Structure 1
Amino acid sequence: MTRKFFDKKLVLATHNKGKLAEFSGLLAPMGVTVLSAGDLNLPEPEETGDTFEANSALKALAAAQASELPALADDSGLAVTALNGDPGIYSARWAGPEKDFLAAMQRVEDGLHAAGNEDRSAAFICVLTLAWPDGHTEVVRGECAGKLIWPPRGEGGFGYDPMFMPLGRTQTFAEIPADEKKTISHRALAVEAMLNKCF
């Protein structure tokens, strides 16, 4: 049975200040105080799962149990059809320790060429897990389908945004204004699903 969220505080299982700001804004209407794992000096667990769901749950449960507060974690990435869903859960790792997403995008483009370049469809995926200290979890998924373009375009966004064009659009995620992107992105859709389910 779905568990509703009635607490006033929530830990966001991230050390990323940008992600904290984004989620704090999305959750603001709920009147919830959002703390980050970074603010609480919680350790970052190793992402050993083989799905977005597994890694999201792993991070949320670790933060909930360490903080003794409910915790929200996301795991997200780019799934490219012609690359059998890669880079998927390894999206950030494809950019290496230097977070070189230009190199990561080139790797995707090279893979598309090797696969024949006919199918350039892809989706950004975000899985959110809300976990309580007693181990209960609620999980939702948000997906934004699109196609990959080359060369990359746009100065906004981050990661693979400059090569991803959502379906029905003529601009990449890096060209779409931030206010507009946050209404159609995989993360926005996942947050909306979680709010509808648990809040």
Structure 2
Amino acid sequence: MYDYIKGIVTRVTPEYITLEQGGVGYQILTPNPYAFHKTEEMQQVFTYMHVREDTQMLLGFKTLEQRELFKKLITVSGIGPKGALAILASGIPSQVMGAIEREDESFLVQFPGVGKKTARQMILDLKGKLHDLFTEIELPDEEVTLLTMAENGALDEAMLALEALGYSQREMAKIKPKLEKEEHDTEGYMKLALQLLLKQK
């Protein structure tokens, strides 16, 4: 329905961004909302409209490759849009695809909502079908901005975003002390937190 939307990001929350275009604010769910920044500059968001009888969701991605991987993930039985977003939020989709190709179930079950059965289904459904994405897909590294007084809640925002992705309070409590020793903006905390969560499984 929509391939992409160019507009101005007017709001960033733990679950979605608001992209304004032509006087309309589009609420767009993304893997990591904090990869986007509120700015007066136009930004392009690749979109996917997910429609079911009981729900409609507009999802957005920083790159075309991210979106294409998302579309492949949601074809797997047991993985819905929010589960696919949580997998993409790791920031390392090439590792996800590598795990599928290697049939590495232990890596795949690290993601929220992915058990052994779903991991096995991902391998059965997607192995050998990701080569066109494997060498291309990569989440761009955003420049880490210096913390300001207004960004002191960055860690709290990151925790809310992780909760929205499906991580438990117990999982987050394990990594929070390490995060508190660091100084990042919200996106930086998100990237570090996701790395720590994947290591502790």
Q: TM-score, normalized by length of structure 2? A: 0.27
* Higher helix proportion (structure 1 or 2): 2
